[in-house]
């Protein structure tokens, strides 16, 4: 934290870093649930690789949030000792894995957003965030290629895979509005040059989604109503189950190491 940062700006930066850190952490945990259950050995390693990339993004983001917050909480403290209402992740990433089509579509919708976000955050006025983004943008570029390929293969695959992918679009589309919804935190953070306005990412995201859906033979839903609340701590019932599993060990055995 620099001396010139006002308390409100600092709080907005903490909230913003928690949104990013929690989103990457929760999605990382969701993907790690596939380990031992993925359809092929090769894909299982691929999913674990993506999960580890996301975890590697979450760790410094949460560490930075704790540093700016100044209450002595480190990345582990923030990850393992907060309850669901204190989490600020996007609703999209806490949705259950479902079948492989659901997981890949959720991943593609997120990756398409992440690659645009990181490329802009690489020039953030927050040097730590810019450094994290510079590394993450390369990871996301690979992730979106991987998930996009799968959406095309599944959407344009067999009758069964196409049906499952259409079902995934129907289930997950309503969580995409939150990616671009802008609130007071977003506005404060954009005004200080730390991050772009979330809404600015939507045209590029939409171009990529349109192109991949066209190749996959999927229709982009025209429904306008969208879920929201994750960035403000109002979550679906699924996040509590994620945290119960993820936080069990450090809560049952505080401070344990191995």
Instruction: Reduce the secondary structure of the chain to three states and give it as a string.
Output: CCCCCCHHHHHHHHHHHHHHHHHHHHHHHHHHCCCCCCCCHHHHHHHHHHHHHHHHHHHHHHHHHHHHHCCCCCHHHHHHCCCHHHCCCCHHHHCCCCCHHHHHHHHHHHHHHHHHHHHHHCCCCCHHHHHHHHHHHHHHHHHHHHHHHHHHHHHCCCHHHHHHHHHHHHHHHHHCHHHCCCCHHHHHHHHCCCCCCHHHHHHHHHHHHHHHHHHHCCCCCCCCCCCCCHHHCCCCCHHHHHHHHHCHHHHHCCCCCC
Would you give the binding string for other proteins spanning residues 146-185, x where CB under 8 A is met? x--x---x--------------------------------
What are the tokens at 253? 């055995």
The reply to whether 35 sits near other proteins by the rule CB under 8 A is: no
C-beta of 37 vs 184, nearer to other proteins: 37
With CB under 8 A as the contact rule, the residue among 4, 7, 36, 42 that binds other proteins is 42
Give the interface segment with other proteins, choosing from 34-42, 107-115, 160-168, 214-222 (CB under 8 A).
34-42
Q: Which two tokens stand for residue 175?
A: 């969580």
Considering only residues 3, 4, 41, 258, which one is a binding residue for other proteins as defined by CB under 8 A? 41
Q: Would you say 153 or 206 has its CB closer to other proteins?
A: 153
Which residues ranging from 198 to 227 are in contact with other proteins (CB under 8 A)?
none
Count of residues in contact with other proteins, rule CB under 8 A? 12
Task: Specify the stretch interacting with other proteins by CB under 8 A; choose among 22-30, 44-52, 120-128, 239-247.
Answer: 44-52
Measured in whole angstroms, how far is the alpha carbon of residue 148 from the centre of its chain? 16
Beta carbon of residue 92, minimum distance to other proteins (angstroms, whole number): 23
Q: Which two tokens stand for residue 61?
A: 């983001």
**Considering the complex, what minimum distance in angstroms separates the CB of residue 52 from other proteins?**
9
- Given a contact cutoff of 8 angstroms between Cβ atoms, the answer to whether 94 and 30 are in contact is yes
Stretch binding other proteins (CB under 8 A), from 64-72, 89-97, 127-135, 139-147: 139-147
When the beta carbons of 95 and 112 are compared against other proteins, the nearer one is: 112
138 binds other proteins (CB under 8 A): no
Q: Tell me if 46 contacts other proteins by CB under 8 A.
A: yes
> Rule CB under 8 A: is residue 32 a binding residue for other proteins?
no
Q: Could you list the residues that contact other proteins (CB under 8 A)?
A: 40-43, 45-46, 49, 142, 145-146, 149, 153
């Amino acid at each position: 934290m620099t001396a010139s940062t006002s308390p409100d700006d600092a709080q907005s930066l903490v909230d913003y870093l928690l949104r990013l850190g929690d989103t990457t952490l929760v999605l990382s945990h969701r993907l790690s649930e596939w380990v031992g259950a993925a359809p092929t050995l090769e894909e299982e390693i691929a999913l674990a690789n993506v999960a580890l990339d996301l975890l590697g993004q979450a760790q410094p983001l949460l560490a930075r949030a704790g540093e700016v917050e100044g209450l002595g909480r480190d990345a582990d403290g923030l990850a393992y000792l907060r309850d669901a209402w204190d989490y600020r992740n996007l609703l999209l990433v806490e949705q259950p894995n479902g079948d492989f089509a659901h997981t890949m579509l959720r991943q593609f919708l997120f990756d398409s957003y992440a690659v645009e976000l990181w490329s802009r955050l690489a020039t953030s006025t927050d040097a730590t965030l810019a450094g994290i983004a510079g590394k993450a943008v390369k990871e996301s570029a690979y992730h979106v290629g991987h998930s996009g390929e799968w959406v095309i293969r599944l959407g344009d695959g067999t009758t069964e895979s196409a049906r499952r992918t259409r079902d995934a679009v129907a289930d997950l589309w309503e969580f995409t509005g939150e990616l671009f919804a802008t609130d007071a935190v977003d506005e404060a953070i954009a005004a200080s040059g730390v991050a772009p306005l979330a809404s600015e990412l939507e045209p590029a995201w939409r171009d990529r989604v349109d192109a991949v859906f066209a190749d996959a033979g999927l229709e982009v839903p025209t429904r306008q109503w969208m879920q929201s609340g994750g960035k403000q701590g109002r979550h679906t019932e699924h996040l509590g189950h994620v945290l119960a599993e993820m936080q069990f060990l450090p809560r049952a055995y505080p401070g344990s190491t191995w």
